[in-house]
Structure 1
């Protein structure tokens, strides 16, 4: 039993796939690589693959090392111009992740493709599908990065809520220009409601469905914002109390002004 292998077809297929993979990794890592360097990296990867396949004999371990370590290293070094060890490891892992996504998309879209023209078209579409998937993952991750946990301290009593850092929240005291953070009235602890608070300020406020209005705001003792492994403490934050539930999204009970960061 034997297989016929057309080395020119093998080279062109590998060159195209290597080019798309290097281009995807370059965009994800925001490398400074140019299309010329990516072209060179893909060319070297494809020609090296053909050379290894032409080695006679069943040298499994040697070919495994050449395919998965040597050739990939050549492609990343030549195509992406990466020298730092940490970034190189990231590119190496991303190369396999992108290959998994791109291969899966191509298998799904082009399982019955038999002509070269359609194969190239399916490869290009698969690349765009993969890029779209990574973009969606990045968007979901960025949304998570805008969520945080906030603990507000008022007269010795603390209260913790889930908050959203809203870049559209430019609310501030019109006189002192201090940023205002909006807290839902329904989540206020009973201990706060029983206390007599002095220094209440009225802040002009508008939201969806309500053109203008005023909300009361008070100066808390401090506010601790925790996001991931980082935490910051804001002294004397100005907290606005909002009665409108529609202002808050999902489980978020507080909207932070980004000017504090």
Structure 2
């Protein structure tokens, strides 16, 4: 009987640890292994009470319902009420989804398995793995892609004393980057009537050699197959500062490169810059 009880406690501990790990990954919350194990250990308290005193009615049920709140608090050190509720709901969603998949596997086993006995632990691990894949790769990725494709954000940057500001489109198809430094490139529309160097509007790239020295120092050549020509070197420049605003929060980067065009990027003038998606990671 003692071995049976220890097995139940250990399984509950391992299951809670795995569920908390998946919750942290899906919620994007950092965690320490020691805190995650401590939270999983706290999750075994209702099991200890049940094994020691048997079914105790409302007390045991109440502990089972509210214990995940304390587990989430211990594992991720969450202080805000909204964040705590959101993470707890994510935890419960994973539990319910995993339980449904586990029930389906168990039903298939009882109906179609011919010989041998599969471990419940194996069923549980496979269920959590499939749940994690389904949520992250199917639901979250799909919703994130739909949101990003249509999103525009405020952008501003400075370069050699010139300031540019406007709306930038987050383009998941923009893969322009410096192959050496891996810095991402934004495509910005500029007006010939403004005080930009005249050579930026010329098609012959050799004219860029006549840029002022402070511009030449920031010049970076990028291989390109999608801007202006099938295959050529594209002139880009290291910005002095580059800022985007995501959900009202200012985000600065020193990794930005910009290239310029005087062609209209948006027919309805809804944006004047095309951003690499890595430039707007939260």
| Coarse TM-score class (shorter-chain normalised) | 0.5 to 0.7
Matched, 1:241 2:261: yes
Q: Please, which of 16, 34, 48 is the counterpart of residue 11 of structure 2?
A: 16
TM-aligned CA deviation for residue 24 of structure 1: 2.7
Q: Deviations over 1:34-54 (max 9, x none)?
A: 486466345434323445752
> For 1:205, which of 210, 222, 226 is the aligned residue?
222
Q: CA deviation at 1:162?
A: 0.9
What aligned pairs does 1:19-38 form with structure 2 within 5 A after superposition?
19-26=14-21, 28=24, 29-34=29-34, 37=38
- Give the Å deviation of 1:128: 0.9
Does structure 2 retain, via aligned residues, the 8 Å contact 1:200–1:216?
A: no
Native 8 Å contact 1:25 1:98 kept in 2? no
Contact persistence 2:154–2:245 (CA under 8 A): yes
Match of 2:247 among 200, 213, 228: 228
Quote how far apart the aligned CAs of 1:238 are. 4.8
Is 1:65 aligned to 2:62, yes or no? yes
Task: State the distance in 2 between where 1:181 and 1:12 align.
Answer: 57
Q: Compute the RMSD of aligned alpha carbons.
A: 5.5
| Native 8 Å contact 2:187 2:274 kept in 1 | yes
Counterparts of 1:157 and 1:73, CA distance in 2: 47
Task: Tell me: CA distance 1:152–1:107, structure 2 relative to 1, closer, same or farther (3 Å).
Answer: same
SS in 1 for 2:222: strand
Alpha-carbon distance between aligned partners in 2 of 1:89 and 1:16, rounded to the nearest angstrom: 25
Q: Give the number of equivalent residue pairs.
A: 229
The answer as to 2:126 corresponding to 1:149 is: no
Deviation for aligned residue 1:31 = 2.3
Q: 2:187 aligns with which of 178, 182, 186?
A: 182
Mapped to 2, the partners of 1:25 and 1:86 lie a distance apart of 18
Deviation of 1:8 (Å): 8.6
Displacement of 1:126:
0.2
- 1:227 Cα deviation from its structure 2 partner: 1.9
Q: 1:103 deviation in Å?
A: 1.0
Residue pair 1:45, 1:74 contacting (<8 A) in 2 also:
no
The within-5 A match list for 1:1-261 is: 12=7, 16-17=11-12, 19-26=14-21, 28=24, 29-34=29-34, 37=38, 40-51=41-52, 54-55=55-56, 59-60=57-58, 62-69=59-66, 71-72=67-68, 85-86=79-80, 89=84, 92-114=88-110, 117-136=118-137, 148-150=152-154, 160-164=167-171, 169-170=177-178, 181-183=186-188, 192=191, 198-201=197-200, 202=205, 204-208=221-225, 213-215=232-234, 225-231=244-250, 238-241=258-261, 254-256=274-276
Secondary structure of residue in 2 paired with 1:200: helix
Work out the CA distance in 1 between the residues paired with 2:251 and 2:44: 49
What TM-score do you get using the length of structure 2 for normalisation?
0.53
Equivalent-residue separation in structure 1 for 2:104 and 2:78 (angstroms): 36
Structure 2: runs of 5 or more not aligned = 111-115, 206-219, 266-270
